[in-house]
Amino acid sequence: MHKSFRFYLQLGFTLLVCAFLIVPIVLSMLAGITDNFFIGLSSGFTGRWIAQVWDTYQVTIWRSIAIALACLVVTTIAGVPLAYMLARHNGGNSRLARAIEELLMMPVAVPGLATALALIMAYGQYREFRGSLLFILVGHVLFTLPFMVRPVLAVMQSSQLSVLEEAAASLGAGLMQRFFGIVIPNVFSGILAGALMVVTLSIGEFNITWMLHTPLTMTLPVGLADSYASMRLEVGSAYTLIFFVMIIPLLIAMQWVTHTTRSRVRL
């Protein structure tokens, strides 16, 4: 069957949009391994900019990873039971469930700078807390918690958890036994999808972190902005290259988990 002109037109438009988005990223990554970006690729390739970034900013990379993992622990401990509670309240359709969901989405709906400013106004007077990584962690948890709750809640609402729980209860299983023995195994794909999203968003979060950080609590995205502002373009681009090396595997894993979850739901 011959493909129509309309198909090729749509394909061309799609490829054009993809090129528009991808080409600047590729150029930025190439700048990080080019000896002199303004001369071009003819200047030769080098790894000294990556080495310089690692020597200068490696602490921000490890700090971002630590905050992301801590954020994952907190959002998992708080988000999974919260999603379970929302699912139990008439499948998340009760007024209470809707109100809680709306409150959860507020840090996502409002600008990150506004959320950070609110945290500073509320807790900025506690100097030790204000200057610690814990302060940034609170901002990250507020921002990423909905991205843990939503996937878990979606899996709970699409599965037959209520039937399985009733069967387990009839056999004498208590609430905690049902939660850890029935609920957690059945929603693990949702937890994994939420975990990948939380880690990805936490590592790349800039707006909240920029307002909350101090010179001693600078994270990877803030360091990236600092490198572009205070050093050579090649250094900032090398920093971008390191950032993409960290993020792209997480994005691929998140895409795979989402596809797997949808396939299971259809079955």
Give the CATH number for residue 117: 1.10.3720.10
| Domain annotation covers residue 5 | no
| Domain annotation covers residue 15 | no
Query: Comparing 76 with 9, which gets the higher pLDDT?
Result: 76
Domain interval for residue 243: 51-266
Can you read off the two tokens belonging to residue 217?
């609590």
| Domain annotation covers residue 143 | yes
Least confident span in 2-6, 128-132, 252-256: 2-6
| Domain annotation covers residue 7 | no
* pLDDT at 78 (0 to 100): 92
* pLDDT at 75 (0 to 100): 94
Residue % of the chain over a pLDDT of 90:
13
Alpha carbon distance 157, 256 (integer Å): 21
Overall number of domains in the chain: 1
- pTM here is 0.80
Q: How confident is the model at residue 138 (pLDDT cuts 50, 70, 90)?
A: very high
* pLDDT at 92 (0 to 100): 46
| Domain annotation covers residue 23 | no
| Domain annotation covers residue 124 | yes
| Domain annotation covers residue 239 | yes
As a whole number, mean pLDDT of residues 154-175 equals 75
Q: How confident is the model at residue 227 (pLDDT cuts 50, 70, 90)?
A: confident
Alpha carbon distance 186, 66 (integer Å): 28
The predicted-structure confidence for 165-218, as pLDDT tens digits, reads as follows 777 777 777 778 777 887 888 888 888 888 888 998 998 888 899 889 888 888
| Domain annotation covers residue 16 | no
